[in-house]
Structure 1
């Protein structure tokens, strides 16, 4: 069954992850699954004279793992109560052992959206979040630490295949259809760019969407941030596998900086995904 999947851990991002996942679940009309993944205890190498120490370490690691499982289940129960308070009926709880990316890949076929915080206890380094974005083939909503129901969105449009597909998704997405949309291109105001942007905007207007188009000059990151701040836009939508300037910014060396500094949610769209 297709569902919204939310990653719950022991960071301060989890309450907002739960709220954004509940928001997506209710707007899609899809069930919500709350997932916690607990790492296995590290493997020990046996060395001469160290057997007793190894056994003691294994016992300690096993106790820590058992404690992590219990804490994880409590976190899931708290998240479940929060999601129910948000209006979700019977959110499911899943706790798994292992490595987060592997578990997500196993559950990918049943996933409509993945919702996760930008800070993770399993992946403290933000470039690991980038690995998840690259590996999965479903939209990934990366949340800040506080929840605000989105009323507007901005699609960073560069006329690439993936962002054009994103426009078509926005025209039909049940969860995003009521949000005011901004299509923003960071490029020179050439006749070709203006024509491409107007054509993309026409797709949304034909679907009855409230849409505004704009071309901005300057560096991609600064231009997008400035536009988002000026127009108080709640949600930024980005193609995850575009090879444009925007791609090199968002999924390049400065990705972690942007995810770390932004206070608003980011929705990454994989190229192969055709239905939001």
Structure 2
């Protein structure tokens, strides 16, 4: 059975917000919740080879002492991870999850998530740092590597009372609308469907078709076409419409695709103050 997987490490977020978001999604999707902590092997290697970094005249005792310190550091990190998972499990139970699973791995975060991808219905993780700070080093790598829906959190989480879909008519964004329409994740929550493009007849028809699909699925939808810079307009409209979540297709072949490549991806993830749901 596909699970909601909450990654509570590697991106510097408070685990409580990630647990709240993952618990909300788990209950809405009626999917099991798995809490994941990955101990990065690049920072905590299982074996330490220092023979080339000290010099020929160094004593063997020093090498052994340094290796012992690395081993102790790794043990402390593993124990800290276990404590994080215990706290996250208690938090999820308090959120209403009956039996959340926990998993600790020692390895590479992206590789671990790829191994779990076939069992992942939704991945929940933090963007790394607060607004204005450098993104967590794993965030973009995860986005590019996985082909599952991903919910990125800025900080704390609140259950959305309204969400905004960034739509551009591309196959990727059409698929995103289909996924929203077919999923119980947003059932009963009003949404705004927004296109940022010239208001041509083709664009109007594309928007109307997407709106009808969501309306037929039972959504209360407000649809609009706006002009302007895609990235900044989206950020402004999220605030003006009081949307609690931004939803978009990832890596479409359109103007919106420009936001999901290179530095613009970082800008959007860093600047938005609401969770960002990327649909693949």
Q: Taking structure 2 as the reference length, what is the TM-score of the superposition?
A: 0.90
Give the counterpart of 1:60 among 69, 74, 82.
69
| Aligned residue in 2 for 1:29 | 30
Is 2:108 the counterpart of 1:99?
yes
Matches within 5 A, 1:107-146: 107-119=116-128, 125-126=135-136, 128-146=138-156
Alpha-carbon deviation of 1:127?
Answer: 5.7
Alpha-carbon deviation of 1:77?
Answer: 0.6
Matches within 5 A, 1:8-23: 8-9=8-9, 11-23=12-24
Whole-angstrom CA distance in 1 between matches of 2:273 and 2:61: 49
TM-align CA RMSD: 1.6
Whole-angstrom CA distance in 1 between matches of 2:119 and 2:57: 49
Is 2:210 the counterpart of 1:185?
no
Q: Secondary structure at the match of 2:199?
A: coil
> Does the 8 A contact of 2:135 with 2:270 survive in 1?
no
Whole-angstrom CA distance in 2 between matches of 1:161 and 1:250: 15
Whole-angstrom CA distance in 1 between matches of 2:216 and 2:105: 44
Q: Secondary structure at the match of 1:182?
A: strand
| Aligned residue in 1 for 2:51 | 46
| Aligned residue in 1 for 2:209 | 199
The size of the alignment, in residue pairs, is 267
Whole-angstrom CA distance in 1 between matches of 2:255 and 2:175: 17
Matches within 5 A, 1:137-176: 137-176=147-186
> Gapped runs of 5+ residues in structure 1?
271-276
Q: Taking structure 1 as the reference length, what is the TM-score of the superposition?
A: 0.92
Matches within 5 A, 1:72-83: 72-83=81-92
Whole-angstrom CA distance in 2 between matches of 1:223 and 1:106: 37
> Does the 8 A contact of 1:113 with 1:139 survive in 2?
yes
> Does the 8 A contact of 1:130 with 1:251 survive in 2?
no
Alpha-carbon deviation of 1:126?
Answer: 4.0
Is 2:235 the counterpart of 1:225?
yes
Q: Secondary structure at the match of 1:69?
A: helix
Whole-angstrom CA distance in 2 between matches of 1:21 and 1:33: 9
Alpha-carbon deviation of 1:253?
Answer: 1.7
Task: Render the CA deviation track for 1:145-179: whole Å, top value 9, x for unaligned.
Answer: 11110122111111000100111111111112222
Task: Render the CA deviation track for 1:216-268: whole Å, top value 9, x for unaligned.
Answer: 11100111111111110111111112121111113332221222222110001
Whole-angstrom CA distance in 2 between matches of 1:126 and 1:253: 13
Is 2:2 the counterpart of 1:2?
yes
**Closer, same or farther: CA 67–171 of 1 in aligned 2, 3 Å:** same
Task: Render the CA deviation track for 1:33-55: whole Å, top value 9, x for unaligned.
Answer: 10001123244352334554332
Q: Secondary structure at the match of 1:90?
A: coil
> Gapped runs of 5+ residues in structure 2?
none
